[in-house]
Chain A
Amino acid sequence: EPEVTQTPSHQVTQMGQEVILRCVPISNHLYFYWYRQILGQKVEFLVSFYNNEISEKSEIFDDQFSVERPDGSNFTLKIRSTKLEDSAMYFCASSLTRDSPLHFGNGTRLTVT
């Protein structure tokens, strides 16, 4: 069965550094998402992306965050200047249509020191 793949599985970075989290969605899916889960907290929506632009974003997704689909397969989340509170598990997801279920990747654990 097709899967959403995320790399790396674990990333450690220093505060203030830029980080890029990478995702390869399922190939025929058209909608892409990022969610995150801070340790001990709920999974939270960050952003959805369709047709090469952001469809929706949450209050968490401020100017420090950006998303991009640089080619036909990758979907990236960039954090420009990481803060300690950005430490979390980041999940990428994709769906075929706007209403079909999301398929999630295994996540990237980001640790900001």
Chain B
Amino acid sequence: AQSVTQLDSHVSVSEGTPVLLRCNYSSSYSPSLFWYVQHPNKGLQLLLKYTSAATLVKGINGFEAEFKKSETSFHLTKPSAHMSDAAEYFCVVSGSGNMLTFGGGTRLMVKP
């Protein structure tokens, strides 16, 4: 069985400041982990993917995430937030047959 916990349901940052969205996972085997983003009235867009090649994964739009097995974490970061980053972010773990287990989502708000 696997599960994902996103530690913050809402995060608010000012434009130009760093972003940290926290995610912890539980999996009985070596997982594939993803971050997806959902802008209003849009579908889920893949930000980045971890599949055991490198622990620091770079994604689109300047986002990156670090896989820490000892902490069972896969936090998403960005050095400098942009207004267009305001969206809902989902941490996801993949199980057998590409069955995805989603976290509860974190709504990122970016203040001018």
Which of these, B46, B90, B97, B103, contacts A56 with CB under 8 Å?
B97
Closest B residue, CB atoms, query A33: B98
Q: Which B residues are in CB contact (< 8 Å) with A103?
A: 46
A102 at the interface (CB under 8 A from B): yes
Q: Which B residues are in CB contact (< 8 Å) with A55?
A: 97
Interchain pairs with CB closer than 8 A, number: 51
Which of these, A42, A98, A102, contacts B103 with CB under 8 Å?
A42
Q: How large is the interface on A (under 10, 10 to 19, 20 to 34, 35 or more residues)?
A: 20 to 34
B70 at the interface (CB under 8 A from A): no
Alpha-carbon separation in the docked complex, A98 to B99 (Å): 10
B interface, CB within 8 angstroms of A: 32, 34, 36, 41-46, 49, 51, 90, 96-105
Q: Beyond A42-B104, A45-B101: 16 further Cβ-contacts under 8 Å?
A: A31-B98, A42-B102, A42-B105, A43-B100, A43-B102, A44-B102, A45-B100, A48-B99, A58-B99, A91-B43, A91-B44, A99-B51, A101-B34, A101-B49, A102-B46, A104-B43
Closest B residue, CB atoms, query A98: B98
Q: Which B residues are in CB contact (< 8 Å) with A43?
A: 44, 90, 100, 102, 105
Which of these, B41, B98, B101, B105, contacts A102 with CB under 8 Å?
B98
- The 6 A-B pairs of least Cβ separation, nearest first, read A104-B44, A43-B102, A106-B43, A104-B43, A56-B97, A45-B99
